[in-house]
Structure 1
Amino acid sequence: MLYPELFKSLEAARWNMATDIPWEQFDRNLVSDEQLRTIKMNAVTEWSALPATEMFLRDNRSDSDFSAFMSIWFYEEQKHALVLMEYLRRFAPEYLPTEEELHNVRFEFDPAPAMETLMLHFCGEIRLTHWYKCAAQWHSEPVIRSIYEVLSKDEARHAGVYLKYMRRAIDRLGDSARLAFAKIGVLMANTKTAKALHPTNLHVNKAMYPEDSVQSHLPDPGWLEQWLDTQIHFDAIWEGKVVNGILRNLSALLETPIQSIKDLSRYRKVMSAAAHDASGHLVAG
């Protein structure tokens, strides 16, 4: 099992909201109303770890090890929402999300293949790591800068954990796991379409379409792209860091040179063809 050692390592890295955030350094002159609104949107988005956890537990009923890890992931992601809300409660309570606004992002996600979902969230954690690093640079107010830096480190650790479960999946499932990871990797690392691709911005409930993404349930559904494009300026350089992180980790995981999205696309096609040949019928890829 991975969970016992993961618990130890993540427990050792855990930060304390009361003592590790420099609340006393707050400077109201260094944070704008525009920035406070983005903090609110981030807080509500982080709250969506609740329906994501419900999805993971439902779709991984046969995997008690991974399900146990969800106890850590859920705790830490809800803590992210909480620290952002604590910032607003202390310094700008008029921007604090209401309970109704938080509850609006809790809705049922359609069942999905476990390996594809695992890869999707691995990519999402890499993306959040860099989104929050970029957000920390955008802010000049020292307390919120510190919070975003702390959150970025948490998201990087979560990506590392997902990667461990992906390695375990390849050991257990072999090429079917490799193909699933490659398929989602091609989607999430495509710089032409992937800039805002994150689990919270994807359609997850056909019956609710088109309002079936977490972002569509936010107080401002169009917030994310505005935040990326015109506020924190998550540009091509930052996007390159996300893509490089995905490709570099996949190259090591799949034990094959992957330096570009074209390399990954070729790998996916080879794996898909091999699965077709082995099964005698087409495997989606």
Structure 2
Amino acid sequence: MLYPELFKQLEAVRWNMDSDIPWDKFDPARLSDEQAQTIKMNAITEWSALPATEMFLRDNREDSDFSAFMSVWFFEEQKHSLVLMEYLRRFRPDLVPTEAELHEVRFDFDPAPALETLMLHFCGEIRLNHWYRRAAEWHTEPVIKAIYETLSRDEARHGGAYLRYMKRAMAKFGDEARAAFAKVGVLMASARRTAQALHPTNLHVNTKLFPRDTIQSRLPDPEWLERWLDKQIQFDSVWESKVVERILHNMSLLMDRSFATVQELNRFRKEMAARIVPPSGDGLAGAPA
């Protein structure tokens, strides 16, 4: 089992909201209304770890090891939402999300292949790590800068934990796992070819609720993410390239094969797909409709 070891590793570096966040460094002159509004949107977005955890537990009922790890992942992700809300409670109480706004992002995700969903969220952790690093650079107020730096490190550690479960899945499922991981890897490393940000919170997950079946579409400001990325933190092609490089680097390590470009990974995907019998259900949780 991986859960006991991962629990110890994450427990050893867990930060304390009271003592590890420099609340006393707050500088009101360096927090704009525009910046504060983005903190509210991110606090609500992070709350969506709740429906994601419900999805993981439902779709991994046969995997008690991974399901137990969800207790750690869920705790830390909900803590992200909590620390952002605590920041607003202390310094911009008028912007603290309401319980109704938080509950709006809790809805059922359609069932999907567990291996593909695992890879989807692995890539999501890589992307969020880079988004939060860029957010920390964009913000000018010292406390929120420190918070985003803290969250970005958590997301990197979560990605590493998911990678451990991906390695385990390859040992157990072989080419089926390789094909699933390559398929989603190609999708998630191709953001420059899409009109939307490729992250689990911005992908469609419930056909009955379409088009209001993404986390972002259920926020008070559904358009905020694109504006945050393009106009505010300016997550440009240089930063997007860093995300793609990390996905390709980890896929290279995982598959013991070098992937310098998305095209090379796509050729590998086709190679793996030809070696397995296609599953009866080829859905992908979060695949764009």
Query: TM-score scaled by structure 2?
Result: 0.95
Partner of 1:189: 189
Partner of 1:55: 55
Cα distance change, pair 188–267 in 1 and its aligned pair in 2 (3 A): same
Q: What amino acid does structure 1 have at the position aligned with 2:260?
A: Q
Partners of 1:248 and 1:196 in 2: CA distance = 21
Q: What amino acid does structure 2 have at the position aligned with 1:40?
A: K
Cα distance, 1:165 vs structure 2: 0.1
Partners of 2:248 and 2:106 in 1: CA distance = 32
Query: Where does structure 1 differ by over 6 angstroms across 4 or more consecutive aligned residues?
Result: 280-283
- Taking the TM superposition and a 5 Å limit, the aligned residue runs for 1:268-279 are 268-275=269-276, 279=277
Partners of 2:280 and 2:82 in 1: CA distance = 46
Cα distance, 1:12 vs structure 2: 0.2
Cα distance, 1:75 vs structure 2: 0.2
Partners of 2:82 and 2:215 in 1: CA distance = 18
Partner of 2:180: 180
Partners of 2:172 and 2:273 in 1: CA distance = 18
- Taking the TM superposition and a 5 Å limit, the aligned residue runs for 1:1-285 are 1-190=1-190, 191-193=192-194, 196-275=197-276, 279=277
Any idea what SS the aligned residue of 2:88 has?
A: helix
Partner of 2:287: none
Query: Any conservation in 1 of the 2:113–2:282 contact (CA below 8 Å)?
Result: no
Q: What amino acid does structure 1 have at the position aligned with 2:224?
A: W
Query: Any conservation in 1 of the 2:55–2:111 contact (CA below 8 Å)?
Result: yes
Any idea what SS the aligned residue of 1:38 has?
A: helix
Q: What amino acid does structure 1 have at the position aligned with 2:53?
A: T
Cα distance, 1:193 vs structure 2: 2.0
Cα distance, 1:274 vs structure 2: 1.9
Cα distance, 1:281 vs structure 2: 9.4
Any idea what SS the aligned residue of 1:184 has?
A: helix
Q: Which string of whole-angstrom CA distances, capped at 9 and with x for unpartnered residues, describes residues 6-46 of structure 1?
A: 00000001000000000000001001000000000000000
Partner of 2:286: none
Q: Which string of whole-angstrom CA distances, capped at 9 and with x for unpartnered residues, describes residues 111-149 of structure 1?
A: 010000000000000000000000000001000000000
Cα distance change, pair 72–281 in 1 and its aligned pair in 2 (3 A): closer
Q: Which string of whole-angstrom CA distances, capped at 9 and with x for unpartnered residues, describes residues 130-175 of structure 1?
A: 0000000000100000000000000000000000000000000000
Cα distance change, pair 13–194 in 1 and its aligned pair in 2 (3 A): farther
Cα distance, 1:283 vs structure 2: 9.4
Query: TM-score scaled by structure 1?
Result: 0.97
Partners of 1:166 and 1:31 in 2: CA distance = 40
Q: What amino acid does structure 2 have at the position aligned with 1:112?
A: A
Cα distance change, pair 61–282 in 1 and its aligned pair in 2 (3 A): closer
Larger relative contact order (CA 8 Å, sep ≥ 6): 2
Partners of 2:75 and 2:209 in 1: CA distance = 28
Any idea what SS the aligned residue of 2:212 has?
A: coil
Cα distance change, pair 195–150 in 1 and its aligned pair in 2 (3 A): farther
Q: What amino acid does structure 1 have at the position aligned with 2:131?
A: W
Cα distance change, pair 242–195 in 1 and its aligned pair in 2 (3 A): farther
Query: Any conservation in 1 of the 2:59–2:114 contact (CA below 8 Å)?
Result: yes
Query: Any conservation in 2 of the 1:215–1:221 contact (CA below 8 Å)?
Result: yes
Partners of 2:6 and 2:203 in 1: CA distance = 28
Cα distance, 1:194 vs structure 2: 7.7
Partners of 2:149 and 2:275 in 1: CA distance = 43
Cα distance, 1:284 vs structure 2: 5.8
Any idea what SS the aligned residue of 1:61 has?
A: coil
Q: What amino acid does structure 2 have at the position aligned with 1:233?
A: Q
